[in-house]
Structure 1
Amino acid sequence: MSESVPEAEVREEAEVAVEPEYAPAVPAPLNVPRTPTGNADVDAQLERLADADHLATDGHVEVYEDVHRGLRDALTALDARPGPPAPPSAYQSRS
């Protein structure tokens, strides 16, 4: 004797939609830890990355470009800072 499931029950089970495991209604923060570098300009730019946590993926580009520009400016500023004063030359001490 064979047990069979009525065809209507089989059809109902097949029509049940499988829900995804994770489907957030809003963007979720990544919670990536940011370690301070000690440079205020760089640290401010790294903190700016947190703004992307609350945006949809298509809004990340603007934040990333802004942070990249800020980091590039901070790096350029390091080259523009004056170095230690040069030692006086022999010519300058004779005047």
Structure 2
Amino acid sequence: MNDSVPEGGLPEAVTASGPVPPAEAEPAPVYDPAAPAPLNVPRVPTGDPGVDAGLARLADADDLATDGHLEVYEDVHRGLRDALTALDVRPGGPAPSGRPAGAPQ
């Protein structure tokens, strides 16, 4: 058995449609630890559209460099704070004061 390579190099593969050129080597992907990477933190829906929209907005930070996260986090915090504040202004009767009915103020 002879393992030597023929003088003209290795023959090209041949298919029914003709010769197939040797595959070009693809460069290996370069890992950049500073590049944005998704955190893949699961977000469970709360049932409140405003809160769920804020939680969904957190996914925007996945595509940003670290210095861009602050803007997203502040925006989400503002939205969640507004949702909590809205709970205090919902229409309805006055909140209970803790005093018995008819007691002097």
TM-score (norm 2): 0.56
Which of 55, 62, 67 aligns to 1:58? It is 67
- The correspondence of residues 36-75 of structure 1 with structure 2, limited to 5 A, is 36-75=45-84
Deviation string, structure 1 residues 70-93 (Cα, Å, up to 9, x no partner)? 0000100111111259xxxxxxxx
Map of 1:35 onto structure 2: 44
Asked which structure has the greater CA Rg, the reply is 2
Q: Aligned partners of 2:74 and 2:60: how far apart in 1?
A: 12
CA distance in 1, matches of 2:69, 2:76: 11
The runs of 5 or more residues in structure 1 that have no matched partner are 1-21, 86-95
TM-score (norm 1): 0.61
Relative contact order (C-alpha < 8 Å, sep 6+): which is higher? 1
Structure 2 counterpart of 1:6: none
SS in 2 for 1:67: helix
Q: Deviations over 1:5-28 (max 9, x none)?
A: xxxxxxxxxxxxxxxxx6346311
More strand by share: 2
Please tell me the root mean square deviation across aligned C-alpha atoms, in Å: 1.8
Aligned length: 64
Runs of 4+ deviating beyond 2 Å: 22-26
Q: Give the SS at the match of 2:69.
A: helix
Higher fraction of helix: 1
Percent sequence identity is: 81
Extract unaligned runs of 5+ from structure 2: 1-30, 95-105
Residue by residue over 1:14-67, the C-alpha shift from the partner in whole angstroms, topping out at 9 and shown as x without a partner, is xxxxxxxx6346311111000000100000000000000000000000000000
